[in-house]
Amino acid sequence: MDSFDLFIAGLIVFLVISLIFAAQKRYVVYFDGSDLFVSALTWLVLPGTYLFVNFLGLSETFASVLLILAAIITVICFIASFVMCCHYNKSILAGLFVGIFKIIFAAFGLLLLVGMIFSAISDDRDNTNASGCLFLIFTIAFGLFGLLAKCMINGNAVYQNRQWTIQNEAHEEKNDDINSGDEDEEEDDEEEDDDDDDNNDTEDGLDWAYEILEVSKDSSDEDIKQAYMKKIKESHPDKLPANTPEWIIKVAQEKFSKLQEAYKAICEAKKQ
């Protein structure tokens, strides 16, 4: 078996593993199209700039400047890809694993693209048929690679499968403002819904409320309030970014409403 056969065999094995990996719906490979685009840039910017410089025949100084800029952009894209992996998978270890996988996966795509281009421009007239077959193989493989990459845009599927909600990390820098805002909103909601309250709720009938807040009946008022504020901060719908899918927004709103109902029911029962 020659090197080319080994390459094809390795490619097939890698594509199969990739398909299984993406189908698990436990790890976010590419959250969305922009994530896929950044991952592709990590391998395309530098070689693309090199080909562009040589094609135009630019001066050595100008070419060096462009290549340095391309190298900087490549490094930034690599870092951004790993950061997004850690962010979307909510784990540094899982993010590093997925990031390495994405680098290898993108490298295979680049090899396929280069192979397809070189087989297309090959001027070996003695092996015209072989070059044509090689081009066809690379073209089919690259097409399958593109379909597989599209299938790996699994952010929504993973988040739905693992019941995760998307949080905007920028808001975490304003925790104090969020806490005060949540307290005001809590007081407003309590005043508006006083007339609709069921005054027959007792401690024995609030197991559901304590379960939602993950506190016990023996917890102090302060512990219950702290647990409520922590959970309501984590699940606040306003912390979702503008491009959040509708089903995630709906889940966040329902969870937020349940937390408010649970805390209010416990407070009313304790007043009685």
Mean pLDDT of 119-141: 71
Which residues is 30 bridged to in the sheet? Answer: 153
* pLDDT for residue 202: 47
Averaged pLDDT of the chain: 75
Q: Is the pLDDT of residue 26 over 60?
A: yes
Confidence of residue 195 (pLDDT cuts 50, 70, 90): very low
pLDDT in tens, 142-186: 888 888 788 788 888 888 877 777 654 333 444 444 454 555 555
pLDDT in tens, 27-39: 888 888 888 888 8
pLDDT in tens, 202-233: 445 678 888 888 888 888 888 888 888 888 77
CA distances 137 to 12, 146, 158, 234, Å, are: 12, 14, 33, 50
Confidence of residue 69 (pLDDT cuts 50, 70, 90): very high
CA separation for the pair 242, 255 (Å, rounded)? 19
The residue among 239, 234, 236 whose CA lies nearest residue 254 is 236
